[in-house]
A and B are shown apart, each in its own frame.
Chain A
Amino acid sequence: MKPSPFEFLRPATLAEALEALAGNPHAKVLAGGQSLIPLLSMRLAAPEMLVDINGLDELAYVRASTDGVRVGALARHAEVQADADAERVQPLLAQALALVAHPTIRNRGTTVGSIVHADASAEMPVVLSLLSGSLTVASAASTRTIPASELYAGPMESTLQQGEIATEAFFPALAPGAGVAFDEIARRHGDYALCGVAAVVTVDDARKVESVRCGYLSVCEVPTVLDLSEVFASGAVGDAALAAAGELALGSLEPEADIHASADYRAQLVRVLTARVVRAAYDDAVDRSDRRVR
């Protein structure tokens, strides 16, 4: 369980890091290392060079403004989770981050790192996708912004190009009339979920449902977002509609089987969690609307 040989570089500026990446097509970026280091140790990954960006203080930030939360590439999960402004602007962040592994992992792991690692079992890719956020990526030549909907190409595969560093994730603010919720079921506390669901529900002034969107993790090969508004056309969140939401979701999902859960069981968790989370997000939306009115 020792990595094969690699060159190690710890640049002081982003430009230097980008230059190093541009110069070696077999280089990898090291940020929090919570996934990369185990992969190296098990020799499942053997990059020629590690470009350690932990010296780039310019990327260690969490900035909340009225339009959303900007998370720099070196912001640790724990820092994003603890940021009160970020929680106020987009409460789904803190809710999801509380479910990311264990405190020791959140202390080192970065939110942007988790997003580019593109694990369909991770919370933050789903959050970015559900919120229609985006990722800013830089290369030696240019900088571009990738909308979340175009970020995930396949299992553990993002659309980042070699030579690019993700510098910032942008999570749009919670819209007026919206509420959020996140829940997941894991075999053990802090494990990757067997199934997880995040929801954004918007209500009108009469507390009637306007829209329902859910994001699913650990169900399919990539983070998946579905619009389930049609089963709530009456505007109410009743048991029948919640059950129908789960079935509607399953129509678009192909739950996978693994050693921890059969496909049937995952489908059951999709049903149960969809209902739980949509109801909770609806309650949250109503609660926020009431508070805003008061």
Chain B
Amino acid sequence: MTTDVTAQPTVKLVGTEVRRVEDDRLVRGQGQYADDVLRGALEMAVLRSPHAHARILDIDVSGVLDVAGVHAVYTYDDLTGAMAEPLPLLIPHAALTHGRTQYALAKDEVNHVGEAIAVVVADNRYLAEDAVARISVDYEFLTPVVGIPAARAAEHQVHADVPGNVAARLEQNVGDAEAAIATAPHRLALDLDIERSASMPMEGRGVVARWDTDARRLQVWTSTQTSTGVRAAVAAKLGLDLVQVDVITPDVGGGFGVKIMHPWPEELLVPMAARALGQPVRFTEDRREHFISSAHERAQQHHVEVGFDDEGRLLGLSVEFWHDNGAYTPYGLIVPIITSTQLLGPYKPQSYKVVFESLYTNTVIVTPYRGAGRPQGVFVMERTMDAIAAYLGLDRTVVRENNFIRPDEFPYDHGLTFQDGRALVYDSGDFPESLRKLKELVDWDGFERVRAEARAEGRKVGIGIGCYVEGTGVGPYEGAHIHVETSGKVKVAVGLTSQGQGHQTAFAQIAADELGVRFEDVEVVAGDTRRMPYGVGTFASRAAVMSGSAVALTARMVRAKALRIAAEALGASADDLEIVDGVIRVVGDPAKSIALGTVAVLSNPLRYAFDEASKAATQFSVGDPGKPPVAEDDEPGLEARDFYSPMRATFANGMHAVIVETDPDTAEIKILKYALVHDCGTIINPMIVTGQIHGGVAQGVGGALYERMAYDENGQLLNASFMDFLMPYATEVPESIEMDHLETPSPLNPLGIKGVGEAGLIPTSAAVASAIEDAEGFPITAMPISPSELFALRLAHASKGTTDEDRR
């Protein structure tokens, strides 16, 4: 049910299914994406390496400028100053002893198919591509390193100065896990793998830049998850002052993590070319380029050793894993750190050891993709839980319950360091209640009847479960600027960006509630550094937590100022005032009132009257001739800017259950039922939350059953198109998802919000693997899984005669 907010203006909006204000424009095709900005700009095309690993001996660009309509060609030799230095290593870490980043254009060496070598700027993309085809490069071929086993074997190195291909090794310990395992009543060892996938937004990367020669200012529109980050990077790399650079995020057709990576080579080369040529320049990535030159994620191999008691309680857990970081490490160790910490989920092992190596391969770089290391960690932990349950002959939910952190144990300190450099401390949650709700939703206890019925029909079905905890809303901070215009309209600007999450709706709900104005009088702008120059970005399920909190705090400041001015004007005490529908009035005496817009006029005593509202206001603007018009500790204008900076992340959680059917003949895998319970604290807009979860589950199903990056041993990506990279269609995802909510508000922020952006896909692979294992009766240790692979497993287990007994 949706609420018509215009009909019920005084309804509390937070918690209400307010229709997204973005959608009318977007579904009518009136979105304005990077490719729609500054039509007629010159266009850039990129020469990308066709080889996974090679030394560049010579680049011959002669003949390129002969193509009519070509304006410029750039190679590494044309880069100067900071542009000639490697791209930034965004998130350094002490353990990242061998961090490496690429150059904006390859210098001497290429390390993956798709690495940028040269760019051409021409009248249009057709001509630019024609000209790129004229560039010839002499290569000396080097042996590519592809896949984790090859990287570990290290017979060949990706970077000559990185021995063993090891970029980083990080170990964390809580207690003595190895000793605990050695003395535990029961022990198991598992090897668990996850393959590569990628964010794959509908809109790829895109950047447009205009250099204003007269004003000496650069304007950049880019499809990013961080406009402030791009701004700082562009200014630093091009040697401009920050105030000379504006970065504006137009509509963004999805990000899912890949667009938090910045600056992309093209994000620097386009502004560089625009400035050099004095003309607007655009780069719009095509799909093949997105596959081979943006970023991937997920590939990890894990070895687990676990010791447990008769009830399946974890006495010692030791996890060693190998993370494929691709050719470079611009985003640091965020993904494997998240795996290593979030793997613990809702459980409390008595001791824990985790060690990972981050390894170079001659493949596309790895940066966070929705879930960001959590799907792998949850897969590892949940497969371990299932293995323990199978070993002990216990129900899988009982083993989980026996390991849960209890509701009275919050805040719960794991004794580890999280991805934000802060302690891993869970703030709130109720895992037993979540599990109870989930079991009810999916009728867990009634499933044996379902199985028996299916078996009688010759069908195979299985049920699986996956539980997760997700650290959301990491710092360092976000801010908001709120300005009340003299018309009473409220303009909100946040520093982070929107990629379709509905920020304009959700933040307007918060601002309207806090200020007491009508929803339709609030307009939210995100990701425009002209409006809000301080911000971090949209990632880690943080926008609602961070910017939502900042909007609330800022709105409270504006409200306080409005009440102070109104109190003076009305001759009342501020404590006796309320704001309803944009009108400040004395509680119990609504005749004594003043419009918020009028207060905005009063707040700026130097302004003339231009309209009816200000004319009406002049009668109040007598002021005290003995005081300055603007008090010493005050400023003109009804506006405020405030920031929210939490001590640490807030932890959302959830549990998914799935019922699958596997075809006995064709090994096709069909999802019959998908149910989940999630807890993201206070819900701002249930419709948006539901949409986030639905989309997440769809993406999770893609990761579980369809999507993988198929590299051959030469480092060629064999499926770099939507024909062969199997992103699920609407026909492949569950028709309905049964959902139940739990709201345990976070004590860490003013509204009790926890993030939900990634929730839908985090445990999907774990739950689907659990269900397939349940249907088939043999372990599922690697995801994604295709019918062809399931068929191969059936043959292997049939020939081995493997049963559940063998797993003990």
Residues of chain A whose beta carbon lies under 8 Å from any beta carbon of chain B: 1-5, 42-43, 185, 187-192, 194, 259-262, 264-265, 268-269, 272
Contacts and interface: CB of A to CB of B under 8 A. Distances in A.
A4 B130 contact: yes
B792 A262 contact: yes
B130 A5 contact: yes
B787 interface: yes
A2 B288 contact: no
A2 B126 contact: yes
A42 B129 CA distance: 11
B217 interface: no
Contact of A260 (B129, B788, B791, B795): B788
Given A4-B133, A188-B728, A262-B791, 18 more contacts: A1-B288, A5-B126, A5-B130, A43-B133, A185-B666, A187-B706, A188-B706, A188-B729, A188-B732, A189-B729, A259-B719, A261-B787, A262-B792, A264-B791, A265-B791, A265-B792, A272-B665, A272-B666
B287 A1 contact: yes
Given A259-B710, A259-B724, A3 B126 contact: yes
Contacts of A268: 665-667, 791
A121 to B, nearest CB: 11
A188 B788 contact: no
B125 interface: yes
A2 B706 contact: no
B80 interface: no
A262 B788 contact: yes
Nearest to B289: A1
Interface in B780-794: 786-788, 791-792
Interface string B701-738: 00000100010000000110001101011011000000
Given A188-B728, A259-B718, A2 B133 contact: no
B60 interface: no
Nearest to A265: B788
B113 to A, nearest CB: 15
Contacts of B786: 187, 260-261
Contacts of B788: 194, 260-262, 265
Nearest to A268: B791
A123 B723 CA distance: 17
B708 to A, nearest CB: 8
Contacts of B668: 185
B664 to A, nearest CB: 10
Give the dominant DSSP class at A's interface: loop
A43 B130 CA distance: 10
A128 B668 CA distance: 29
6 contacts: A187-B786, A189-B731, A190-B731, A191-B723, A259-B724, A265-B788
Nearest to A275: B665
A188 B792 contact: no
A5 B69 CA distance: 14
Nearest to A3: B126
Contacts of B731: 188-190
A4 B724 CA distance: 24
B286 A1 contact: yes
B286 to A, nearest CB: 4
A260 B729 CA distance: 17
Interface of B: 125-126, 129-130, 133, 286-288, 665-668, 706, 710, 718-719, 723-724, 726, 728-729, 731-732, 786-788, 791-792, 795
Contacts of A272: 665-666
Q: Which of B287, B723, B726 has the most CB of A within 10 A?
A: B726
Contact of B795 (A190, A192, A194, A264): A264
A188 B667 CA distance: 14
Nearest to B732: A188
A265 B787 contact: yes
A4 to B, nearest CB: 6
Q: Which of A2, A4, A190 has the most CB of B within 10 A?
A: A2
A194 B787 CA distance: 11
A188 B729 CA distance: 7
A191 B286 CA distance: 21
Nearest to A187: B726
B777 to A, nearest CB: 19
Given A42-B288, A188-B731, A2 B792 contact: no
Nearest to A273: B666
Nearest to B286: A1
Given A185-B668, A260-B786, A268-B666, A2 B729 contact: no
Across the A-B interface, give the 7 residue pairs with the lowest CB-CB distance, nearest first: A189-B731, A1-B286, A265-B788, A259-B710, A261-B788, A2-B126, A272-B665
B216 to A, nearest CB: 34
Nearest to B712: A259
Given A261-B788, A265-B787, A265-B788, A2 B129 contact: yes
A1 B286 CA distance: 6
A2 B719 contact: no
Given A1-B288, A5-B130, A264 B792 contact: yes
A272 B788 CA distance: 14
A3 B129 CA distance: 9
A2 B123 CA distance: 14
Contacts of B710: 259
B68 to A, nearest CB: 11
A190 B728 CA distance: 11
Nearest to A195: B666
Nearest to A1: B286
Q: Which of A4, A5, A268 has the most CB of B within 10 A?
A: A268
A154 B487 CA distance: 73
A109 to B, nearest CB: 14
A260 B667 CA distance: 13
A293 B351 CA distance: 79
Contacts of B792: 262, 264-265
Contact of A188 (B126, B286, B726): B726
Contacts of A259: 710, 718-719, 724
Nearest to B787: A265
Nearest to B45: A2
Contacts of B286: 1
A218 to B, nearest CB: 13
B182 to A, nearest CB: 41
Q: Which of A3, A185, A187, A194 has the most CB of B within 10 A?
A: A187
Contacts of A260: 724, 726, 786, 788
Contacts of A43: 129, 133
B288 to A, nearest CB: 6
A286 to B, nearest CB: 24
Contacts of B732: 188-189
A20 B146 CA distance: 48
Contacts of A262: 788, 791-792
Contacts of A4: 129-130, 133
Contacts of B795: 264
Nearest to B285: A1
A20 B133 CA distance: 28
A194 B728 CA distance: 16
A189 B670 CA distance: 13
Nearest to B708: A259
A265 B126 CA distance: 42
A42 B792 CA distance: 34
B666 A269 contact: yes
A5 B718 CA distance: 27
Contacts of A5: 126, 130
Q: Which of B125, B286, B787, B795 has the most CB of A within 10 A?
A: B787
A187 B702 CA distance: 12
Contacts of A189: 729, 731-732
Q: Which of A3, A188, A192, A194 has the most CB of B within 10 A?
A: A188
B651 to A, nearest CB: 35
Contacts of B133: 4, 43
Nearest to A269: B666
A264 B794 CA distance: 12
A178 B424 CA distance: 70
A206 to B, nearest CB: 30
Q: Which of A43, A259, A272 has the most CB of B within 10 A?
A: A259
